[in-house]
Amino acid sequence: MRTIFLTGFMGSGKTTIGTMLGEKLRIPAYDMDQLIVQKAGKSINEIFDDDGESIFRQLESDVLKSLPLENALVMTGGGIILDEGNRKWMKENGLTVYLQCSIDQIKKRLENDETRPLINGSKKKDIEIIFLSRKELYEEAELTVDVTALEPSVIVDLLIERLKSLNNTHNIMGDYNENE
């Protein structure tokens, strides 16, 4: 099975959906934010505060390229798509899936979240600007699933069905058999 890269704006559900999808597909699921924190030895907020966004983005690219290219699911950070090289690398080495979510739903989900350096504190007002500036880049993904109004378990089942339909032409799922 080719590696599946989940992309989407912060709060779209990449971690929740990715964890559940990895379990259902019986493949390891890698949370890039967790891996970056482990590699740096400090939180994402600390990386942004101490080293700046450019160092964070370099760590992000390094971690991305260190992950398996088969039988894996990668939950990317919301900004992974900002780098054209990252977008190209994911497309060449797996399948990119955009978890599309409305800005209103994202605002609701992130309302009390202060863990995200790009929107914590007074920066919350910038969330829509950031969202709109990234939208086209997310839409370059090979598969888009609207997750705005669906429960995580429904999204996972929908993703598996969509992956199966792509499997015939793209060999996404390899020899995955849900009945095993």
Percent of the chain clearing pLDDT 90 (strictly above) = 67
Digit-coded pLDDT (tens) for 46-74: 998 899 989 999 999 999 999 999 999 99
The overall average pLDDT reported for the chain is: 87
Q: Strand 29-31 vs strand 73-75: parallel, antiparallel, or unpaired?
A: parallel
pLDDT grade for 106, boundaries at 50, 70 and 90:
confident
Segment 69-97 shows an average pLDDT of 95
The DSSP code sequence of 11-62 is: TSSHHHHHHHHHHHHTS-EEEHHHHHHHHHTS-HHHHHHHT-HHHHHHHHHH
Digit-coded pLDDT (tens) for 4-17: 999 999 889 999 99
CATH classification code of 3-168:
3.40.50.300
| pTM (2 d.p.) | 0.86
pLDDT grade for 123, boundaries at 50, 70 and 90:
low
